[in-house]
């Protein structure tokens, strides 16, 4: 599937604006807009310093609480500002060479979405009674409505739209046109794509293609075959939850066979996703921060190294560049979406080394096409060591990690005619080849990114 030209070089920075900007959790419709989006402008130099050149931001539109219970798709949430405030922010991102994709929540709406409120008021006489999935006036909802309706995962605050209704589809597609026309965005992240009508996804794809063929569409799905939604008729990419889970569990179990299996299954010669550019992450607004999921904080080194060198598009969730630690509770996940103060975080980061590590990995990725576009080949796998090859055109890069407490010593025979391998992480380390073999050490809980060099005659 052809992807937009800017995607191979993209490294995303993921912002949950209601959290980062310190917005109140509950929206009060009578309050005037407050331009909290302006806070994000001060973050742009920091985001650029991380090597990030693409922004995934959202949710942004008027809602009741967390942003995924939309009440108005064409008005910026008053807790964040107004439409012109968002335009100013996106213009500033663009002026700094960054592409911007917005969160698109098309599976469900909040209970104060005007069409749903009309059904509450007028019942079966409402012109919108067919806008919502599973509407049944023979039962009552747990919230006291004289009807039942489908929800997102049993949450009656999230009312499922009927995406088989042409009127609903037209409304949402008109909304997408409005977003592109108003803010000149560069794509969408489709919330809960696995719950969205495939027919609607085809219409959405055609609409966006007609607006901007260089726009990128990424869908969120925790489970399932990503090819169901990432294909030439629907989305370009899917959130790579398989590898997200494999990152921390393979380290905690000291069983790198797990993540190696996922890489090979996804990207190897017979890999089922080798033609799809997946969206890779180590944490996000829905899951615990990575430091809360790993047994040893040293694993941050090797997990981020894997994410930046594997096929696909890497991303950083705001605050994770400093290694902040947070977990959701049985009743809410607000700790995953905290208010952060930039200067305070820079002056007192929880994991001081991590920002430099991420900056270096981003710089290496930006400067080597083999990491952005190359194929994937597994070279070596043991419980605590793992090595693979990325090749593109005339460039070959070998990635190797060691999660043991002891140094590892490895001898490999990569299928290339290199005379030596230079470590891009620490270029003073050079390993020479003999008879096609190269031997090198990997210090404890670290990795190497080795570039092949060839003798010139």
pLDDT score of 457: 44
CB 411 within 8 A of CB 379: no
pLDDT score of 456: 62
pLDDT digits (tens, 9 = 90+) for 171-225: 999 999 999 999 999 999 999 999 999 999 999 999 999 999 999 999 999 999 9
pLDDT at 386 over 90: yes
Tokens of 125: 């006489």
> Residue 279 gets which letter from DSSP?
E
Distance of alpha carbon 285 from alpha carbon 304, whole angstroms: 18
pLDDT digits (tens, 9 = 90+) for 74-111: 999 999 999 999 999 999 999 999 999 999 999 999 99
User: Which residues in the chain are classed under CATH 3.20.20.80?
Assistant: 7-107+163-367
Place of tokens 């939604």: 229
* CATH 3.90.400 describes domain 112-161: yes
- Rounded alpha-carbon distances, angstroms, from residue 323 to 131, 292, 358: 43, 10, 11
User: Which residues in the chain are classed under CATH 2.60.40.1180?
Assistant: 374-453
User: Does the reported pTM lie above 0.75?
Assistant: yes
Q: Average per-residue pLDDT in the chain?
A: 96
Of the candidates 178, 180, 202, 201, the one whose C-alpha atom is nearest the C-alpha of residue 191 is 201
Query: Which three-class secondary structure state does DSSP give residue 272?
Result: coil
> Residue 197 gets which letter from DSSP?
-
Average pLDDT on 405-432 reads 92
Tokens of 180: 């592109």
Between vectors from CA 318 to CA 313 and to CA 324, what angle results, nearest 5°?
115
pLDDT digits (tens, 9 = 90+) for 257-271: 999 999 999 999 999
Average pLDDT on 372-385 reads 97
pLDDT digits (tens, 9 = 90+) for 57-69: 999 999 999 999 9
Strand 395-402 relative to strand 151-152: parallel, antiparallel, unpaired? unpaired
pLDDT at 1 over 90: no
Structural domain 374-453, CATH architecture: Sandwich (2.60)
User: Which residues in the chain are classed under CATH 3.90.400?
Assistant: 112-161
Distance of alpha carbon 182 from alpha carbon 374, whole angstroms: 36
Among the CATH numbers 3.20.20.80, 3.30.200.20, 3.30.70.270, 1.10.3720.10, which is that of 7-107+163-367?
3.20.20.80
pLDDT score of 237: 97
pLDDT at 435 over 90: no
């Amino acid at each position: 599937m052809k992807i937009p030209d800017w995607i191979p070089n993209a490294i995303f920075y993921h912002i949950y604006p209601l959290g980062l900007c310190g917005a109140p959790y509950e929206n009060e419709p009578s309050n005037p807009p407050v331009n909290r989006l302006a806070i994000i402008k001060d973050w742009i130099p920091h985001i650029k310093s991380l090597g990030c050149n693409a922004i995934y931001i959202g949710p942004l539109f008027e809602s009741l609480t967390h942003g995924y219970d939309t009440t108005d798709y064409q008005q910026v949430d008053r807790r964040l500002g107004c439409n012109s405030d968002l335009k100013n922010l996106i213009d500033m991102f663009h002026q700094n060479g960054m592409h911007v994709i917005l969160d698109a929540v098309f599976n469900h709406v909040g209970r104060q979405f005007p069409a749903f409120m009309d059904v509450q008021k007028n019942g079966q006489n409402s012109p919108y009674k067919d806008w919502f999935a599973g509407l049944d006036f023979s039962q009552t909802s747990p919230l006291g409505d004289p009807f039942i309706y489908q929800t997102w995962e049993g949450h009656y605050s999230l009312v499922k739209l009927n995406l088989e209704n042409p009127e609903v589809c037209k409304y949402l597609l008109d909304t997408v046109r409005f977003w592109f026309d108003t803010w000149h965005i560069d794509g969408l992240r489709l919330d809960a794509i696995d719950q969205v009508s495939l027919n609607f996804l085809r219409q959405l794809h055609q609409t966006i293609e007609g607006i901007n063929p260089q726009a990128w569409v990424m869908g969120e799905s925790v489970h399932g075959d990503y090819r169901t939604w990432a294909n030439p008729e629907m989305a370009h990419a899917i959130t790579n939850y398989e590898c997200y889970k494999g990152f921390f569990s393979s380290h905690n179990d000291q069983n790198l066979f797990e993540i190696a299996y996922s890489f090979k299954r996804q990207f190897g010669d017979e890999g089922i996703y080798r033609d799809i550019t997946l969206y890779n992450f180590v944490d996000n607004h829905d899951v615990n921060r990575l430091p809360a999921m790993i047994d040893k904080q040293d694993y941050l080194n090797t997990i981020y190294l894997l994410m930046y060198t594997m096929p696909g598009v890497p991303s950083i969730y705001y605050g994770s560049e400093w290694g902040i630690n947070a977990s959701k509770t049985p009743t809410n996940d607000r700790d995953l979406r905290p208010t952060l103060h930039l200067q305070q975080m820079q002056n007192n980061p929880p994991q001081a080394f991590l920002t430099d590590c991420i900056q270096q990995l981003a710089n290496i990725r930006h400067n080597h096409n083999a990491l952005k576009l190359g194929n994937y080949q597994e070279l070596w796998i043991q419980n605590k060591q793992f090595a693979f090859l990325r090749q593109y055109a005339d460039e070959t890069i070998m990635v190797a990690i060691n999660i043991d407490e002891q140094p590892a010593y490895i001898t490999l025979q990569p299928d290339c005619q290199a005379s030596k391998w230079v470590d891009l992480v620490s270029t003073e380390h050079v390993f020479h080849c003999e008879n096609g073999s190269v031997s090198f050490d990997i210090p404890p809980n670290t990795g190497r990114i080795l570039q092949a060099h060839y003798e010139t005659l």
